[in-house]
Chain A
Amino acid sequence: MTASLIHCRNLTRIYKMGENEVHALRGVSVDIRRGEYVAIMGPSGSGKSTFMNMIGALDRPTSGTLEIDGERLEAMKPDELAAFRGKRVGFVFQQFNLLPRTAAIDNAALPLVYSGISASERKQRAEARLRQVGLGERMDHHPSQLSGGQQQRVAIARALVNDPAILLADEPTGALDSQTSEEILQIFDQLNHDGMTIILVTHEPDVAAHAKRQIVFRDGEIVEDRT
């Protein structure tokens, strides 16, 4: 049985900008199974970021149903969404978003602080994830002492530290040179090979080529879904 990890039907999202209504999503229905590696593509304003925020539990749909890992998200309150994000979703951002003047290990352990895990276990789990992304030697370095690629590895370790159901990466290579980008994408490939569900938002075709399925958005709708 291959039940959907992400199951959404007729998702819409309307932003009110003063008098105008912006239809960011116009009825999106899609299923993503556990273990998939999906690239979300499309020009800016196509709705791909809105869709990503939605499945990252950062935003709620205006209408439609959204079920992730067996839980219905469309009616959750802000704090319930926060708890959901903290346990089921790992985020990797284009700008890394590490806490400045904070050691790599503390950055990687940050999500565990909010899920009530003891300090010693936090350290242990953050260490394991930093080793997994090849930063075992630099756990006490601050972000300013790390290269862009290394910072993004810390961010990946942080995204994985809570054993999430989904790894969400928003233009993870957007701020990196091509060689470093390739190294980061290899980490994603390896993670997916080990069973992690990865959803990657990008507008670069060669980055998207690493994924096994490409979903293309335009004007708030899915215009292409190929595997």
Chain B
Amino acid sequence: MNLFAAIRVALTALRVNALRSALAMLGVVIGVSAVIVMVSVTEGASNAIEEQIASFGANLLIIRPGSSAFGGRRGGAGTATFMNDEDVEALRNEIDGIAAVSGEMFGTSTFVADGVNWTTRIQGVHAEYFEARDWFPSSGRSFYSEEVNSGARVILIGQTLAQELYGASDPVGQIVRVGTTPMEIIGVMSAKGESSWGQDQDDVALAPITTVRDRILGYDLGVRDPVFTIYAEIDASADPGLVTADIEDLMRIRRNIQPGAEDDFSVNNLGEFIRARNETESQLGVLLAAAAGISLLVGGIGIMNIMLVSTTERTREIGLRLAVGAKRADIRNQFLIESVVLCFTGGLVGLLIGIGGAAYIESLDQFPIEIQPSVALIAIGASAFVGIFFGFYPAHRASRLDPIEALRFE
């Protein structure tokens, strides 16, 4: 008996008991749709986190005065003495495994161009800032360390600021007045979008830290060349733990902290923090997928149950088929195909419901959902496997029937 004929026989048998077939496949439908929804949600969440890491710079250390931001919060960031340009220099020269390092300080200023004005955040940074944050201009250029040293009046603006001041026209080469200081726009930063806490990261301007400090903000913080935050990008080949420890040692010496005393600064690896969170979420994802897998298993047991009922009910049919020349394999395949068709159909329906469910969740909460083709393949493959696995025993039992007894079965 060829496969095509066998599938037709199976479809006929399933159609004859349409309601029972539908109920039998319900377990598989629920199992497969649950797997797809769970995997899509988990995948979407971990992708969102990956993006977040990428937007921040994957191997970025953030050094701030004050004690740890993530451990027991004692002093809080900013309560201790500011760092300064010399700290940045020291990190650059004395620590191995740092690819780029930059200080940052910021304030708010008003930008005026052609009678349009816009008030927003201005950041003063060193030349390696762009590399450290992995954020570069989409047009124009970034500034050089010479321009930082000389306090050049050059500025880079974010996409939102460019839009507010210049609309569609090209800002590069224009002069913008920042507070009272005219500065030349040398580039527009690439779009970064919203941060995870909803701040528009493109509504910003970047200028050499010296220029911002001396000409624009003019803060007197009681420290020469103050820096609020230092960003250090760890070399891809270096061990982040080791680099962090080296930085901590150096900073303790530079800040005169006695052995045994608490640090008055913190070194945080945000990438690692996010990764740890990601790991927790993916473990949760594994749990969810396991729960969904169990429902698929229960669905499979339902299939096995119904196939056992079906083969018992059709004992005479089996006897007849054996009498007219069906071999054991023919009988076994007939029922195996029936159960695979049942599960496969259930898998297809479950796939559609799962995709629909994932899309619905996405629309509900703007929750990022990632439906991967491989998930669909796995779901369909798993349902076919369930069909074979749970269909085999009933089919095998049917094929072992004695034709005489089967024909006599009432």
- B317 to chain A: closest residue by CB: A99
Q: Is the CB of A58 within 8 A of B323?
A: yes
Query: Is there an interface contact between B327 and A82, defined as CB atoms closer than 8 Å?
Result: yes
Decide if B325 touches A91 in the complex (CB within 8 Å). Answer: no
On whether the beta carbons of A114 and B325 are closer than 8 Å, the reply is: yes
Report yes or no: B316 in contact with A82, Cβ–Cβ below 8 A. no
How many chain B residues touch A (CB < 8 A): the figure is 22
Instruction: Find chain A residues with CB under 8 A from B328 CB.
Output: 78-79, 82
Whose C-beta in chain A lies nearest to the C-beta of B322?
Answer: A82
Bound complex: CA A91 to CA B316 (Å) = 14
Q: In the complex, are the beta carbons of B325 and A85 less than 8 A apart?
A: yes
A82:B326 contact, CB within 8 angstroms: yes
Judge whether A143 is part of the interface by a CB distance below 8 angstroms.
Answer: no
Q: Give every chain B residue within 8 A of A110 (Cβ-Cβ).
A: 320-321, 324
- Distance of A162 Cα from B326 Cα, bound (Å): 13
Given A53-B404, A97-B407, A113-B5, is A79 in contact with B327 using a C-beta cutoff of 8 Å?
A: yes
Q: Are A114 and B321 interface neighbours, CB within 8 A?
A: yes
Residues 305-346 of B contacting A (Cβ, < 8 Å): 316-317, 319-330
Q: Are A86 and B325 in contact (CB under 8 A)?
A: yes
For B323, the chain A residues whose CB sits under 8 A away are 56, 58, 85, 91, 97
Interface residues as binary, A39-60 with B (CB distance below 8 Å gives 1, 0 otherwise): 0000000000000010010110
A100 to B323, CA, bound (A): 17
Interfacial residues of chain A within 135-171, with CB under 8 A of chain B in the complex: 158, 162
Any B CB within 8 A of the CB of A131: no
Q: Let me know if A87 is at the binding interface, CB within 8 A.
A: yes
Contacting residues, chain A, for B321 (C-beta < 8 A): 110, 114
Tell me if B320 and A114 are in contact (CB < 8 A): no
User: How long is the Cα–Cα vector from A225 to B67 in the complex, in angstroms?
Assistant: 111
Contact digits for A110-122, partner B, Cβ 8 Å, 1 yes 0 no: 1101111001000
**Contact B320–A86 (Cβ < 8 Å):** no
B49-74 contact mask (Cβ, 8 Å, vs A): 1 or 0: 00000000000000000000000000
Residues of A within 8 A of B12 (CB): 101-102
Residue of B nearest to A88 (CB): B325
CA distance A78 to B323 in the complex (A): 11
A93-B407, A97-B407, A102-B12 are known contacts. Are A111 and B316 too (CB-CB below 8 A)? no
A-B contact count (CB 8 A): 60
- Chain B residue with the shortest CB-CB distance to A98: B320
Using known A-B contacts A53-B404, A113-B1, A114-B321, determine if residue A97 contacts B316 with beta carbons closer than 8 Å.
yes
B16 at the interface (CB under 8 A from A): yes
Cβ distance A114 to chain B, nearest Cβ, rounded Å: 4
Contact of B403 with A by CB under 8 A: yes
Q: How far is the CB of B262 from chain A (nearest CB, A)?
A: 83
Residue of B nearest to A95 (CB): B316
Specify the chain A residue showing the minimal Cβ separation from B403: A58
B145 to chain A, nearest CB (A): 82
Assembly CA distance A58 to B34 (angstroms): 48
Nearest-neighbour CB distance to chain A for B406, whole angstroms, equals 10
Tell me the smallest distance from the CB of A48 to a CB of chain B, in Å: 14
A187 to chain B, nearest CB (A): 19
Determine the distance from Cα of A79 to Cα of B407 in the docked complex, in whole angstroms.
17
Report if A22 contacts B (CB, 8 A).
no
Q: Does A3 contact B (CB under 8 A)?
A: no
A158–B324 CB distance below 8 A: yes
Is A76 positioned at the interface, with any CB of B under 8 Å from its CB? no
A84 and B325 CA atoms in complex are apart in Å by: 7
Residues of B within 8 A of A102 (CB): 12
State the CA gap A87–B12 with chains docked (Å): 26
A54 and B321 alpha carbons, distance in the complex (Å): 17
Q: Contact mask A60-100 → B, CB, 8 Å, 1/0? A: 00000000000000000011001101110001010001011
Residues of chain A contacted by B5 (CB below 8 angstroms): 113, 119
Residues of B within 8 A of A101 (CB): 12, 16
Given A82-B327, A83-B325, A86-B325, the answer on whether A97 and B320 have CB atoms closer than 8 Å is: yes
Interface residues of A in 185-199 (CB under 8 A from B): none
Contacts of B403 in A (CB 8 A): 58
CA distance A116 to B325 in the complex (A): 11
Cβ-defined partner of A83 (8 Å) among B2, B16, B327 = B327
Once the chains bind, are B404 and A58 in contact (CB under 8 Å)? yes
In the docked arrangement, what's the CA distance between A171 and B350, Å? 50
Chain B residues contacting A86 (CB-CB under 8 Å) are 324-326
Partner of B325, one of A59, A82, A93, A119: A82
State the CA gap A202–B297 with chains docked (Å).
51
CB distance from A36 to the nearest CB of B (A): 22
User: What residue of chain A has the Cβ atom nearest to residue B2's Cβ?
Assistant: A116
A98 to B326, CA, bound (A): 15
Cα distance A99–B327 in the bound complex, in angstroms: 18
**Complex interface residues of chain B between 1 and 51 (CB less than 8 A to chain A):** 1-2, 5, 12, 16
Which residues from B are CB-within-8-Å of A87? Answer: 325
* B14 CB to nearest chain A CB (Å): 12
Cα(A87)–Cα(B323), bound, Å? 11
Q: List 14 A-B contacts (CB under 8 A).
A: A58-B403, A79-B328, A85-B324, A93-B407, A99-B317, A99-B320, A101-B16, A110-B324, A113-B1, A113-B5, A114-B321, A114-B324, A115-B325, A116-B2
| Supplied contacts A86-B324, A97-B407, A114-B321, 11 more A-B pairs, CB within 8 Å | A79-B327, A79-B328, A82-B328, A85-B322, A97-B320, A101-B16, A102-B12, A111-B324, A115-B325, A119-B5, A162-B324
Q: Which residues of A contact B (CB under 8 A)?
A: 53, 56, 58-59, 78-79, 82-83, 85-87, 91, 93, 97, 99-102, 110-111, 113-116, 119, 158, 162
Can you list the 5 inter-chain pairs with the closest CB atoms, starting with the nearest? A86-B325, A111-B324, A114-B325, A79-B327, A97-B320
